[in-house]
C-alpha cells in the first residue's frame, strides 16, 4: 500500500498543494489529472525527492520515504517530462551510467529494456533519436534499481501510436510484477488504462472514475 498524506507546497505566497491525500494499492496504475499549473509536476517531483514539501508523508508499507532518501532511491523511479539524457552519448553509454554490465546485458536480452525495444537503437546518440526513442530510453534508465513505484510526468505526450503501445505494454508488465505507477497525464488512452484517476484542483485531489465522457471530464478539471 502506498500512502500519500497531507502534502503541502507553497512558492512564496502561492500555495500550490494544500494537502494532497492518496491511498494506492500495490500493482495498480493511478492517473493524476488537472489543468496546466495545477501542481501535478510539483507533486511528482516531491514524491521523487527533487523538491521538499512544506509538510506531509509518503509511505510504502508503513515506511516513510520522506525520511529515508536511500530507501526512496531504491524503491521509487521518476520519469520527468524533460529529457534528462546526455545528448552526445549513445543509448548504450547512457544506460551504462546506471546499470552494472551484467545486469544491463540481461535486461537488454530478456528484461524490461528488451520489452521497451531499446536494444534496437543502442548505438544511436541521443541527439539523433526520435522523441519516442528518447522517452523509452529515459524510462529504461529510470528503472535501473528495479523500483516498486514508477512516477511518470506526461509519459507519452506527442509520441506516435506505435511507441505509445510499446510503453503501455511495459506498464502492464510492470503492474503484473507488483509495481505501482503514478502518472500525470492528459492522454485519454492513458486515462482509460488507469485503475483509478484523481483530479488535482485548487491544491487538493478527488477521486474520479473515467467513463468515456470527455465533456464531463473536462467539466471537472
In a domain, 122, yes or no: no
Q: What's the sign of the alpha-carbon dihedral 2, 58, 154, 129? A: negative
In a domain, 111, yes or no: no
40 touches 15 (CB < 8 A): no
**What is the number of other CB atoms lying within 10 angstroms of the CB of residue 173?**
14
In a domain, 172, yes or no: yes
**pLDDT tens track, the chain, 221 positions:** 899 999 999 999 999 999 999 999 999 999 999 988 899 999 999 999 999 999 999 999 889 999 899 999 999 999 998 889 999 999 999 999 999 999 999 999 989 999 899 999 999 999 999 999 999 999 999 999 999 999 999 998 888 888 899 899 999 999 999 999 999 998 888 888 999 999 999 999 988 777 777 677 777 77
pLDDT attached to residue 42: 96
Domain encompassing residue 31: 2-83+145-220
Indicate the number of domains in the chain.
Answer: 1
**pTM (global) more than 0.85:** yes
Looking up residue 72, the CATH number of its domain turns out to be 3.40.50.300
> SS3 of 167, please?
helix
Residues of 12-48 as b/e, b for ≥16 C-beta within 10 angstroms? eeeebbeebebebeeeebbbbbbeeebbbbbbbbbbb
pLDDT attached to residue 217: 75
In a domain, 125, yes or no: no
pLDDT attached to residue 205: 92
pLDDT attached to residue 136: 93
Amino acid at each position: 500500500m502506498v500512502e500519500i498524506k497531507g502534502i503541502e507546497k507553497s512558492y512564496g505566497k502561492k500555495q500550490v498543494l494544500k494537502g494532497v491525500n492518496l491511498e494506492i494499492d500495490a500493482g495498480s496504475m493511478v492517473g493524476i489529472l488537472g489543468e496546466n499549473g495545477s501542481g501535478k509536476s510539483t507533486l511528482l517531483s516531491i514524491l521523487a525527492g527533487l523538491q521538499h514539501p512544506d509538510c506531509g508523508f509518503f509511505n510504502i508499507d508503513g515506511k516513510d520515504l520522506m525520511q529515508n532518501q536511500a530507501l526512496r532511491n531504491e524503491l521509487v523511479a521518476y520519469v520527468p517530462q524533460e529529457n534528462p539524457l546526455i545528448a552526445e552519448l549513445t543509448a548504450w553509454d547512457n544506460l551504462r551510467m546506471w546499470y552494472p554490465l551484467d545486469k544491463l546485458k540481461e535486461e537488454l536480452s530478456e528484461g524490461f529494456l528488451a520489452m521497451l525495444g531499446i536494444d534496437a537503437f543502442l548505438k544511436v546518440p541521443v541527439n539523433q533519436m526520435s522523441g519516442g526513442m528518447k522517452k523509452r530510453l529515459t524510462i529504461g534508465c529510470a528503472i535501473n534499481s528495479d523500483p516498486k513505484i514508477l512516477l511518470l510526468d506526461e509519459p507519452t505526450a506527442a509520441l506516435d501510436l506505435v511507441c505509445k503501445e510499446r510503453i503501455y505494454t511495459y506498464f502492464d508488465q510492470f503492474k503484473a510484477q507488483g509495481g505501482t505507477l503514478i502518472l500525470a497525464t492528459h492522454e485519454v488512452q492513458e486515462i482509460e488504462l488507469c485503475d483509478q484517476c484523481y483530479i488535482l484542483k485548487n491544491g487538493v485531489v478527488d477521486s474520479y472514475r473515467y467513463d468515456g465522457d470527455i465533456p464531463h471530464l473536462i467539466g471537472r478539471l
